[in-house]
Amino acid sequence: MSQLTEFYKGAGRDSEGRSIAMIWAYSHAQWEASHDFIQWLFPLRLPSRFNPDAPRLTEVDVAEFHASPTLRDNLRRSLTLFLDFLGLREIEGRVIKTDEFDRQGIFQSPNHHWLRITRVLTSTRTLGLEPECLAFFACLKQLRDEGGSGITTDTFRYWEEAATG
């Protein structure tokens, strides 16, 4: 078992000594201020430019997530918390706005959260949450299509590639 899957099962710690439960307990302010946990919650195959201590997904990790309902359930919990941070939530297979939607202006102009969204889409698709990934992407598409957001054509293409491969 890798350090990443141990962390995701709740038995291990990240490179900063935090358990997944500790990160799940973060406030929205901590999600905004901290930049070294997102790579643990939503790992990728590529190295992180911003966190050299972040894990890189291996084929063994990917296979383990696909085989383990516990790992996928925990990844789903991480996604739920990320969506909540954005003022979104999943209900009956759809991602919708909540009353707290975009309280921080995240969707008004490019920012580091847009990179996080790309990471989340890629990670969830890779690790076996394709329906959830596509539901999140459908919400992003609706936000863009409704107007009133600053989602650029280039950003939307990144998100589409992340969601659909």
pLDDT band, very low/low/confident/very high, at 104 (cuts 50, 70, 90): confident
pLDDT band, very low/low/confident/very high, at 122 (cuts 50, 70, 90): very high
Q: Give the DSSP per-residue string, the chain.
A: --HHHHHHTTSS--TTS--HHHHHT--HHHHHH--SSHHHHS-BSSPPSS-TTS-B--HHHHHHHHH-HHHHHHHHHHHHHHHHHHTEEEETTEEEE-TTTTTT-TTTS--HHHHHHHHHHHHHHHTT-HHHHHHHHHHHHHHHHHSSS---HHHHHHHHHHHH-
pLDDT band, very low/low/confident/very high, at 1 (cuts 50, 70, 90): confident
For residue 103, pLDDT over 80 is answered with no
Q: pLDDT by residue (tens digit) across 26-83?
A: 999 999 999 999 999 999 999 988 888 899 999 999 999 999 999 999 999 999 999 9
Q: pLDDT by residue (tens digit) across 11-20?
A: 999 999 999 9
